[in-house]
Structure 1
Amino acid sequence: MGLDMYAMISDESFDREVDFKPGQGVGELHYWRKHPNLHGWMRTLYFEKGGEQPDFNCTPVTLTETDLSRLEADINAGNLPPTEGFFFGASDGSESEDDLAFVAKAREAIADGDTVFYYAWW
């Protein structure tokens, strides 16, 4: 039990940036286990894009090139928000290299015409 976090890719585009239902053609791009500060960053993005699920659990949020640039800057500056939750674990700062590897993979996927989105289950 705990915070499982996924970056997914899809060959389809969605009519909304949040709370959509992905269909076929979805694959995993990246996985994190118990990295709550990144989840907190994604939660903020989700609400900025109009998300309405208060728990931000099992609901997607798309990531654009602009979002990835913001994320990259916040990772490099150490500005992922401290986030806590039941069974979330703790981020300790050692995740930055992996987070930046994700940003690079996500940019490649977007350049290839895929939609990238974040999804967490806890």
Structure 2
Amino acid sequence: MRNVILCVMGVALLSGCSWAKNVQSSKNRVYFENLYFPARLSTNSDDKQSFTVSVDRIDQGLAPAREAGRYEATKYCVATYGNSDVAWVAGPDAPDSELRIVEGRLQFEGRCDV
């Protein structure tokens, strides 16, 4: 009987770990106007200060998608260089007509200003 109780407790603990992992990953999400916009930043292999940001789900709203891209860039520059200044080549403050939208994703390009 003792072995059965230990097995049940072990299964409960393992399922709890899986649940905690899912909760923790959703806690790391940043929402803009109560919407989630997945954003990815990639750096230039030759110059780590230069980067591009790609923002998905822009059909939910262009203004919050812009802020999601700005946030991703700022987060990278602060974490890497300790400074939030970004020199945008194509950035979130551009007029709608000048935004880069490629395959349904908003794309920004900039450089951490250190």
TM-score scaled by length of structure 2: 0.28
Instruction: Write 1 or 2 for the structure with the bigger share of helix.
Output: 2
Which structure ranks higher in relative contact order (CA pairs < 8 Å, sequence separation ≥ 6)? 1
Instruction: Write 1 or 2 for the structure with the bigger share of strand.
Output: 2
TM-score scaled by length of structure 1: 0.27
